[in-house]
Structure 1
Amino acid sequence: MNHARPLPGYLVTRYHGWKATTYAENSAWYRRLASEGQRPRAMVISCCDSRVHVTSIFGADQGEFFIHRNIANLVPPYEPDGNQHGTSAAVEYAVTALKVSHLIVLGHSSCGGVKGCYDMCSGKAPALEEKSSFVGRWMDLLRPGFDRVSERGLSEEAATSALEKEAVLVSLENLMTFPFVREAVESEELSLHGLWTDIGEGGLQYFDPGTREFGPV
């Protein structure tokens, strides 16, 4: 691989700082994780957005969360078609191998992927409509959410914000199409949770299936 290059200097400096402080102070815990393996109680599916930092939000340490990130925190429906499915594989491993007790879908404010979906479905982003657009085809997963939002007669800003929460709900709906997820949920070995965080305000909301609304945690 002739295109790989050494790490940028600032990352090397940060690594050595971490090794000399955080790691040095908790080396026994790291060695225990390495020797005993991981036993996370929860899986979190969140967005790739660099502003969303799951472990910081919950004050979590290494080994607590099994985390999968993708554009707009989406979960595809169950489709065992022989193709590669990174998100589905992560869900399968978390539920069937790690036996997590909680599966959390975490959406967020100002999501670029969701905004792209809104623009694409509104006819304002023709590039995302191209078959060659990986982002566009991934955001096709959110079209059912866009259809629900478009029926509410909201302004563009409000509709985009509502679509961020629809991304969470679409993912929760799709999770239940996985036989092993449904079985674990129905046997009460697994619980699903839908969350949305406001990046600027540090707020966290959860989906209440009783009211069908998001409210503060």
Structure 2
Amino acid sequence: MEFAKPLPSYLVTRYHGWKATTYSDNQGWYRRLASEGQRPRAMVISCCDSRVHVTSIFGADQGEFFIHRNIANLVPPYQPDGDHHGTSATVEYAVTVLKVAHLIVLGHSQCGGVQGCIDMCKGHAPGLDAKESFVGRWMDILKPKFSLVEDIEDEDAQARQFERQAVVASLENLMTFPFIDSAVRDGTLSLHGLWTDIGEGGLECYEPRSGKFMQV
């Protein structure tokens, strides 16, 4: 493959630093993970945004979380149509093979994907509306929820509420998967919806009875 190039030097330097310190100090743990396989207790579906660092938020070590990241932490509805479904495949593996006990959807503030969906819904994003836009077609998953926030006049407040609705939409779509619905109902799996404020470090949890996100 002629287009692939060596790693940038700064990444090589960081790797060697990690190998000489973190890895060297925990060789037994890494080798145990390799030989015994993974047994994560939870799966986290979060946004690709580089500012969202799931393991740092919860102080998690290797082997604790099975993590899947995509634009705006969305889960599509169950649709076994033969097309490629990376998120659906990851969810299936986590629940049916790894048998995770918790499935967490983590949204966040200043989400570019959610803002793009708002722009589409307001007719301000012709590029995302184009059929060939992968991001636009992915954000179609969230568009039906816009009616819940479209009357909010303050743009920042509207965006923050829509980010939370992205979490709710994913939770609802997760329950359309038969193996998730079954696991939730028999008590072997629990779903959790979270939203984090990047700047303030806040964390909120969705409470289905009130339909609101409450500070953790």
User: Into which bin does the TM-score normalised by the smaller protein fall?
Assistant: over 0.9
Q: Which residue of 1 aligns with 2:192?
A: 193
Q: Establish whether residue 87 from structure 1 lines up as the match of residue 87 from structure 2.
A: yes
Q: Which residue of 1 aligns with 2:161?
A: 162
Q: Which residue of 2 aligns with 1:113?
A: 113
Deviation per CA, 1:10-58: give whole Å up to 9, x if none.
0000000000000000000000000000000000000000000000000
Matches of 1:149 and 1:95 in 2, distance apart? 32
- SS for the counterpart of 1:127 is helix
Matches of 1:154 and 1:24 in 2, distance apart? 54
Deviation per CA, 1:113-136: give whole Å up to 9, x if none.
000000011101111000000000
The residue type equivalent to 1:213 in the other structure is K
CA RMSD, Structure 1 to Structure 2 (Å):
0.7
- SS for the counterpart of 2:61 is coil
Q: Establish whether residue 128 from structure 1 lines up as the match of residue 122 from structure 2.
A: no
Distance apart, 1:154 and its partner CA: 3.4
- SS for the counterpart of 1:215 is strand
- SS for the counterpart of 2:119 is helix
Q: TM-score, normalised by structure 1?
A: 0.98
Matches of 1:92 and 1:114 in 2, distance apart? 25
Aligned length: 216
Distance apart, 1:198 and its partner CA: 0.4
Kept in 2, the 8 Å contact 1:168–1:194? The answer is yes
Deviation per CA, 1:47-96: give whole Å up to 9, x if none.
00000000000000000000000000000000000001000000000000
Matches of 2:141 and 2:77 in 1, distance apart? 9
The residue type equivalent to 1:215 in the other structure is M
Deviation per CA, 1:189-209: give whole Å up to 9, x if none.
000000000000011000011
Q: Which residue of 1 aligns with 2:71?
A: 71
Matches of 1:199 and 1:97 in 2, distance apart? 32
- SS for the counterpart of 2:172 is helix
Kept in 2, the 8 Å contact 1:144–1:170? The answer is no
Structure 1 residues not aligned, in runs of 5+: none
Distance apart, 1:185 and its partner CA: 0.2
Work out the percentage of aligned pairs sharing the same amino acid. Answer: 72
The residue type equivalent to 1:144 in the other structure is P
Matches of 2:146 and 2:65 in 1, distance apart? 30
- SS for the counterpart of 1:67 is strand
Matches of 1:71 and 1:80 in 2, distance apart? 21
